[in-house]
């Protein structure tokens, strides 16, 4: 069966895509994991969504978003800790220091 043993090209021209065969996918995945465990590779964070899935950005929690999202406990939320829309972080970071503090989240 072709879809299990090898990758298959779907479509043609600029809309060409690849359906990964199960066996080659597993072989590549095992090699990637072994490389990461041996410290030879960082791996790759895959981001995306399933066809037809709508992705909604996480909204700041009600109450105290600084307390809820502050992963390292420094009293502010960094870009890395932020789980909302990217543009929203930039809009809220009024002083442009790359962190959100409680005073920046208060309405003027």
**Phi and psi dihedrals of 17, rounded to 5?**
-140, 165
Residue 46 included in any domain = no
pTM: 0.41
Residue 58 included in any domain = no
pLDDT tens profile 12-67: 655 566 777 778 788 888 888 898 898 887 776 655 556 666 656 556 556 676 77
Residue 54 included in any domain = no
Q: Cβ(28)–Cβ(18) under 8 Å?
A: no
Residue 50 included in any domain = no
Residue 23 included in any domain = yes
pLDDT at residue 14, as a whole number: 57
Residue 74 included in any domain = yes
22: number of CA atoms within 13 Å, CB side? 4
- Is residue 2 over pLDDT 60? no
Alpha-carbon distance 6 to 24, whole Å? Answer: 6
Can you give the residue range of the structural domain that contains 18? 2-37
pLDDT tens profile 14-29: 556 677 777 878 888 8
Question: In percent, how much of the chain has pLDDT > 70?
Answer: 66
pLDDT tens profile 78-94: 888 887 777 888 888 88
Residue 81 included in any domain = yes
- State the total domains in the chain: 2
Alpha-carbon distance 15 to 72, whole Å? Answer: 43
Residue 101 included in any domain = yes
Question: In percent, how much of the chain has pLDDT > 90?
Answer: 1
**DSSP code of residue 60:** P
pLDDT at residue 97, as a whole number: 93
Contacts with 93 (C-beta within 8 Å, 6 or more apart), sequence order: 99, 100, 104
Contacts with 71 (C-beta within 8 Å, 6 or more apart), sequence order: 81
């Amino acid at each position: 069966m072709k879809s299990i043993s090898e990758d298959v090209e779907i479509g043609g021209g600029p809309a060409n895509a690849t359906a990964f065969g199960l066996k080659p996918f597993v072989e590549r995945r095992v090699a990637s994991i072994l490389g990461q465990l041996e410290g030879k590779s960082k791996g790759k964070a895959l981001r995306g969504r399933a066809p037809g899935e709508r992705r909604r950005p996480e909204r700041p929690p009600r109450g105290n978003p600084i307390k809820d999202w502050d992963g390292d406990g420094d009293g502010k939320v960094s870009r890395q800790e932020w789980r909302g829309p990217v543009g929203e972080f930039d809009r809220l970071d009024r002083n442009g220091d790359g962190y959100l503090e409680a005073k920046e989240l208060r309405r003027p």
